Amino acid sequence: MSEIAPSKLAATARARLDGLVRKGLFRSSGLQLLLSLVVLFVAYPVLEGMPHGESITSALFTYVMLTALLAVGGRPRVLVIGAILLAPAIAFRWLPHFTALAPDHPLSAGSLAIFVGFTIWQLLRFALRARRVDAEVLSAGISVYLLVGLLWAFLYLMVAGMVPNAFAFTPAPASGTPLDFADSIYFSFCTLTTAGYGDITPVNRVVRMLATLESIAGVLYLAVLVARLVSLYSQPAEKP
């Protein structure tokens, strides 16, 4: 029997993967991603203190990241790149359950930040290139806003893991616990929305720079998104 050339095997595999993607077997909607993000933000502080809460939150977090991957994986190349970026992020998320690795290790936060940044880019391209406003475009636009807050939360965690006392707390925690994921989410969205309650203060210069950039990104993104949606909505409908 003649051996099949590796190039033909690779081409066959790519063709099959492309066929599965076209059939929607590797897709989730923007609305699913949006709902999963909302559930994560609402449920995480509640589940964290429950018995087996860490395992439940890790499972929920994994589901959200997989939903994000499938939401942008409309093309085989994007799906493969996203899976490669997501693999270390998921691994670092589950390693603390089996090893002595800290849950908020800088490598974990950094790998998650890379994947979330990739997801934001893909969703943003979809939202800005859309020709009409529909539920998918709205869901993608809102999801990008929430993912921006999540991205900066991971960046804050990464810096806090490398630089002790990068944040000051008012009042200071009795246990002296550094910034954790729940605190980073809270601080990130307070900064993104420019609420600024002042109970968590960036002290390190790098963190201050990140906080400034996040505030600017939050304001500009809302302005650009609203302008884009209004432009799409005001365009006359295309004739069939």
Which band of pLDDT confidence, cut at 50, 70 and 90, is reported for residue 52?
Answer: confident
Q: How far apart are CA 23 and CA 144, in angstroms?
A: 25
CA atoms within 13 A on the CB side of 171: 3
Residue 25: both structure tokens together: 């077997």
Tell me the chain's radius of gyration from C-alpha atoms: 20
**Confidence at residue 53, expressed as pLDDT on a 0 to 100 scale:** 78
pLDDT in tens, 184-202: 999 999 999 988 888 889 9
Could you report the per-residue pLDDT of 74-102, keeping only the tens digit for each?
Answer: 788 898 999 999 999 999 889 888 887 77
* Predicted confidence band of residue 38 (pLDDT cuts 50, 70, 90): very high
Sequence length of the chain is: 240
pLDDT at 237: 53
| pTM of the complete model | 0.82
Domain 6-234 has CATH 1.10.287.70: yes
Say whether pLDDT at 23 is over 50. Answer: no
Tokens of 215: 């505030």
At 234, give phi and psi (nearest 5°).
Answer: -85, -10
Given a cut of 80, whether residue 177 has pLDDT beyond it is no
pLDDT at 59 over 80: yes
For residue 45, give the nearest of 151, 193, 185, 156 by alpha carbon: 185
The domain spans of the chain are 6-234
Helix, strand, coil in percent for the chain, rounding step 5: 70, 0, 25
